[in-house]
Structure 1
Amino acid sequence: MTVKVFALSTCPYCRMTRKYLDENAVAYDVVEVDLLEGQARTDAIDEVKRLSGGSSFPVVIIGDEVIVGFNKKRIKELLGL
């Protein structure tokens, strides 16, 4: 199952999400939006808005499901942890 995290490098909930995934040996791709520049940053922000309906972080995509914010219970359910 594909897991992708849109995060900010300064966001505590983003760090908590990544730590939880790491502790459970979940492979995932991360996009640290605030560290991107130019069009890549604009594209990432547009994608976050499209997926979440806003600009909250983190945005976690597990398969076809989108989770906005750090929701340990939902992540656990979707990954079968």
Structure 2
Amino acid sequence: MLKRVRLYSLSTCPVCKKVKEFLKNNSIETEIIEVDTLDSGEQWLAMKELKKINPDETFPTLVVETAVVGLNEEELKKILEVKD
């Protein structure tokens, strides 16, 4: 089942890099929004959207039809239906 996946990330965040690696290793097609690399207007819009999903505005925030904050591989496998 194909699910819409979006990752709000920072280019320098080590946990964000691990989430991206997890997604890549499991062939999960993802829209990645590197918030710190956006221009100021786009960054403002991205943060406004992120705040609706994750009021703490922490990174990484992965949205898989629902929000997953941080790196929780077991939860990600369950939501993304990744088989071991």
- Please report the TM-score for the alignment, with normalisation by the length of structure 2: 0.91
Q: Which amino acid aligns with 1:25?
A: S
In structure 1, distance between residues paired with 2:22 and 2:56: 24
| Stretches of 4+ aligned residues off by more than 4 angstroms | none
User: Structure 1: which 5+ residue stretches go unaligned?
Assistant: none
Residue aligned with 1:34, SS: helix
Structure 2 match to 1:72 = 73
> Which of these residues, 17, 25, 33, is aligned with residue 19 of structure 2?
17
- Percent identity between the aligned chains? 29
How do 1:30-45 residues align onto structure 2 when only pairs under 5 Å count? Answer: 30-45=32-47
Structure 1 match to 2:50 = 48
Residue aligned with 2:33, SS: strand
User: Structure 2: which 5+ residue stretches go unaligned?
Assistant: none
Aligned length: 80
CA RMSD after TM alignment: 0.8
Instruction: Give the drift of 1:77.
Output: 0.4
